[in-house]
Amino acid sequence: MPESLTLLIAPFVVLNAVIGIVTYVTLLERKFAARMQSRIGPYRVGPHGLLQPIADALKLMMKEDIVPAAADRPVYNLAPIVFLLPCMFIFATIPFAPGLGVADLNIGILFFFAISGMEIVGLFMAGWGSNNKYALLSAMRAVNQVISYDLPFIFAALTPVLLAGSLRLSDIAAAQDGLWFVFYPVIGQLAFIAFVLSTVAAENRAPFDILEAESELVAGFRVEYSGMKFALIQLGEYAHILGSSFLGALLFLGAWSGPGPEWLGPGWFLLKAMFMFLLVTWIRWSFVRIRVDQILALSWKALLPATLLLLLATAVVVVWRANGGA
């Protein structure tokens, strides 16, 4: 197949797959949450609610697009797109199987971090452009929180990078052939816990979701969005969560390694990503949220020093091992 065609087809396939998985992941979350709350969840639309996401997507497409009269139009209209694009780009460097990915850059994980940090721009644009006190308050909290938690997120994710010795994501996955990094004594487990915690916080999931805190700010920065723009924001959020789940599965759970033939690899990968996603969801539906100053205190005073120390410890262990230590 000519190179140019592959370059067009691969992203197309990945994007569609991602959007498909994202829509059904919302259903998975709803069913999971429902069972936790001793109820059933979506049940009527399609067998066992399987057509619910399609119905939701159709509904959002058909809704009226209300723009507040005093909103800053260019900023307001561009915000969902600026928010969505980075959330889609993060899938570019993730290899779904050895050799199967859009662009297996040799700085793969760095690209992931850099581009996922861009979505905060879209978030703030949404809050500002809505010309709404609640939205603005929420956007300011968001900037604070996402920036504070991106740092521990990066440091926790750098631990597997140090253990594998490469920034390329397929190398990190391959280095887990013998032992998944989550089972690496002490360091692996600590890094995994720190990773999950910072993921939950960086994606504004409860208990760190003061950003949207409906009971106080009524949907936060997306309060003025309706219809397709709201759908784009939702899509971006869930795509980001999914991307972080895939990254977590790759960094810690061995990506595509699992019993059975090679072509089952992507299937195992998907399963592990779902496990990470459900972990985040389980935390979300169990805890009340804490205040914004407590969230920031947790990040700067506890998580960041802890992940820094962990990184240093990992470096020491790696060098010690390389020099023939036991």
Site residues for other proteins per CB under 8 A: 33, 36-39, 69-70, 131, 133-134, 136-137, 140, 206-207, 209-210, 212-216, 218, 284-294
Looking at the Cβ atoms of 17 and 60, the one nearer to other proteins is 60
Helix boundaries (H) for the chain: 3-36, 52-62, 73-89, 108-116, 119-129, 133-164, 169-174, 187-202, 214-217, 227-252, 265-284, 292-297, 304-322
**In one letter, which amino acid is 307?**
T
Min dist. Cβ of residue 62 to other proteins (A): 23
Looking at the Cβ atoms of 10 and 306, the one nearer to other proteins is 306
Min dist. Cβ of residue 30 to other proteins (A): 10
Min dist. Cβ of residue 205 to other proteins (A): 8
Looking at the Cβ atoms of 205 and 272, the one nearer to other proteins is 205
**In one letter, which amino acid is 84?**
L
Query: How many Cβ atoms are within 10 Å of 242's Cβ, its own excluded?
Result: 22
Looking at the Cβ atoms of 112 and 208, the one nearer to other proteins is 208
For residue 32, give both structure tokens: 């999971």
Min dist. Cβ of residue 189 to other proteins (A): 20
For residue 74, give both structure tokens: 């260019």
Min dist. Cβ of residue 326 to other proteins (A): 38
Looking at the Cβ atoms of 206 and 304, the one nearer to other proteins is 206
Nearest to 203 by CA among 86, 104, 297: 86
CA 45, CA 95: separation in Å to the nearest integer?
A: 34
